[in-house]
Structure 1
Amino acid sequence: ADGGTIFLDEIGELPAEAQVALLRVLQEREIERVGSSHPIPVDVRVLAASNRDLEAAVEGGTFREDLYYRLNVFPIRLPPLRERVEDIPILVEYLVDRYAKQVGKSIRNIEKRTLQLLQAYDWPGNVRELQNVIERAIVLVEGETFAIDDSWLTTKRSKVTNGTARPVTSLANGEKELIEAALAESEGRVSGARGAAAKLGIPRQTLEWKIRALKIDKLTFRKR
C-alpha cells in the first residue's frame, strides 16, 4: 500500500493489540516486517469504516481514544438506509440486475408494489439485509417481473418491534423451498459455477448439510 490508499473495514472490531500496532504505524509512518527489526518508511492514506459508534466504544474502553482521534481526521457519516428512502429504487435496480446476471435470468420490470414495500420497511440490517432479500427473491422469481413476498418484510418488522420470532417450522419450510428452487434451476447440481450452492451464495458443504437435514432428494431435480 506504500504510496497508495488502504481501506480498513469494520475498524471497530479491531483487537486491542492490533489497535496499538496500527496506532504506531499511523504515528511513526513506518512498519517492521515479521522477524525483522529494521523499520521501513511508508507513505499511505488510510480510510477506515465502522458500523459501530466509535465514540461510545471509546467511552466503553473497547477502542483506543488516541487511535480514534488519529483516524477521525475527516469523518463522513453515511446515513442508514431507512434515512435515505429515495436511494432504495436505485439500489434495487442495481442489485436486481447484478443478481439476475449471476443466475442467468432476465428481469425487465420491478413490481410497483414491491418498491413501495421496500421503501416502507425500516431495514434494521441496512444495505446487507436489502441485498439478502433481493438475492433470495431473484432465486425464486419466475418470469421477467421482479417481486417479493411481503411476508418476508412483515415478519422481520414484527420481530424487531414485538420481539417475536418466526416459528422454527416456518423458517425450515421457507429454507427448503429456497433450496429446492435453486436445485431445480441447477438441475440437481450442487457444486460448480452453475450449481445450487453458487446460486444461493453458500459453501457447497453447507448446502449438502442442509439438504440432508431438510430431507431433500436432489436426484429428483436431475434431468433424465
Structure 2
Amino acid sequence: MNDPVKTFNQLKSIVTPFFNMAVNTVVHGIHNVPPSGKLIIVGNHRSDMDPFVVSATFPRFISWVAADYTFRIPLFKDLISKAGCIPMAIDSKVSMSSIKMIQQVFKRGEVLGIFPEGHDYMVRNDFTKGMVDFHEGFSAFSIRNKVDITPFIITPIEETISDIPIAPILRAFMGLPEEVCSIKKRVTYKKVLVSYGKKIDHRDYLNYSLEEGMKKISNDTKEQMLELQAQAKLLAGA
C-alpha cells in the first residue's frame, strides 16, 4: 500500500538538491511554522514551480490541493497521487471524495497546502500585476475543521519569463481546460524569497456566520500576505 508521507519525503530528498542548484531560495519566518498538528498553509501562485519551492523549504509533509486537470497529465498524475495531492475542481465545486481526503489530512494532524488564487494568476499571464481574487474554499476548511492557517508569500528576486514549451494542441490533447491551453508564458525562478507569516487563529472566526467568517478569514489572510509581500520586497531590495 502506498504511503504518501514516505513517497513525498523520498521525492523531496531526490528533487531538492537538484532544485537548489537551479533556484537560490531564501527563507524568512520559518519559526512561524508549527512543528506539529493540523494546519493549512496558504500562499500566492504565479508559477508552476511554486509547490516545489515551498515543499523544498517547508519542514513538514504537505498534502497539496491541485487542480483536478493535473491528474490527467501522463506520469505526473501518478507522482502527485502517490505523494498525497488532493484533486479539486477549478469551478470550486468540491467533490465529496476530495472533502473526505481533506478531512483525513486533518484527522492525521497533517498539513494541507492551498493556492487560493487557483490558476487564475497564470491564466491572466501578466506577471507584473498583484494577486488576483481568492477562492474562499480554504477559509471554509479552516472554520469547519477548526484548523489554523499559516500564510506564505513567494517573492521573485530573479526570474525569467519564457514561452510554455508544451504546445496548446498538446495541452488540449491531455485534457487540460481551454484557459490553460491558451496560457502563453511561464515564470522560471532563479532566486526567490519565501516568507512565512504568523498563524491566523481559526477561533477568531467561529462567532460569525459561516459566510461572514469565510469572507473575513479570506480577507485577513490576503491582507497578511500583502504585508509579507511588502516586507519581502524591502528585504529583496536591501
Shorter chain as normaliser: what TM range? under 0.3
Query: TM-score, normalization: structure 1?
Result: 0.25
Bigger relative contact order, structure 1 or 2 (CA pairs below 8 A, ≥6 apart): 2
Structure of larger gyration radius = 1
Query: TM-score, normalization: structure 2?
Result: 0.24
